Chains A and B, each alone.
Chain A
Amino acid sequence: GAVVSQHPSRVICKSGTSVKIECRSLDFQATTMFWYRQFPKQSLMLMATSNEGSKATYEQGVEKDKFLINHASLTLSTLTVTSAHPEDSSFYICSARDLRGGASGNQPQHFGDGTRLSIL
């Protein structure tokens, strides 16, 4: 089945540091990937849609200058949390959809393992 790899799984760093998270589709090409944020005991909140070769689309309320997204290839999207502060501490998780069966819209998304970010 489709596999999405996310790295790193855990980051602990000082306030003011920028942190880059990678999301890779391992056995399929993904023109679109998604970045979510999940607070403890809460749902997955869609932050942005990462589009290969073009600008990411951000959800309302998400600062694009704070959360930089780059989707330079069909298998890799990166999320950079710039100048991270304690309030940015969260579980970040990416996903991608395997559209090899056709782009009818009914393909599930496959999630990475997530990145737990802790800003001290």
Chain B
Amino acid sequence: GENVEQHPSTLSVQEGDSAVIKCTYSDSASNYFPWYKQELGKRPQLIIDIRSNVGEKKDQRIAVTLNKTAKHFSLHITETQPEDSAVYFCAALYNFNKFYFGSGTKLNVKP
């Protein structure tokens, strides 16, 4: 299967600063990479995704970049707010059907 690694495991930033979370994947055939935000005890919520034929995608304060050659993709959050505090997971679609998740990053935005 696919192996997805995610860094850092915890990230603390000051409100208004940017946050960057990075993931790498092992299977070059993976072609779809979503990012999820999960608050304690709740379901993961899709916040942004990127397909393999695109290098970057932006949605307001959130952006994702993908480097297929290096097999890594990153989540960028600008102008962070306290409500951005949560655990973020990256994922990669393997074999067109299965998603494998990174280990998660706990983001703490300090007011």
Contact = CB atoms under 8 A, between A and B. Distances in A.
Given A34-B99, A43-B102, A46-B98, A106 B93 contact: yes
Interface string B97-111: 111111110100000
Contacts, number: 53
Contacts of B32: 105-106
A116 interface: yes
B64 to A, nearest CB: 13
Nearest to A49: B98
Contacts of A95: 99
B93 A43 contact: no
Contacts of A76: none
Given A91-B41, A93-B43, A114-B41, 9 more contacts: A42-B103, A43-B102, A43-B103, A59-B1, A105-B31, A105-B93, A109-B99, A113-B43, A116-B41
A113 B43 CA distance: 5
Indicate the size class of the contact surface on chain B.
20 to 34
Interface residue SS majority, chain B: strand
Interface stretch (B14-22, B44-52, B66-74): B44-52
A32 B97 contact: yes
Interface of B: 1, 31-32, 34, 41-46, 49, 51, 89, 93, 96-104, 106
Nearest to A112: B43
Given A108-B34, A111-B43, A114-B43, A43 B99 contact: no
A59 B2 CA distance: 12
Nearest to B4: A43
Contact of B97 (A41, A49, A91): A49
B97 A105 contact: yes
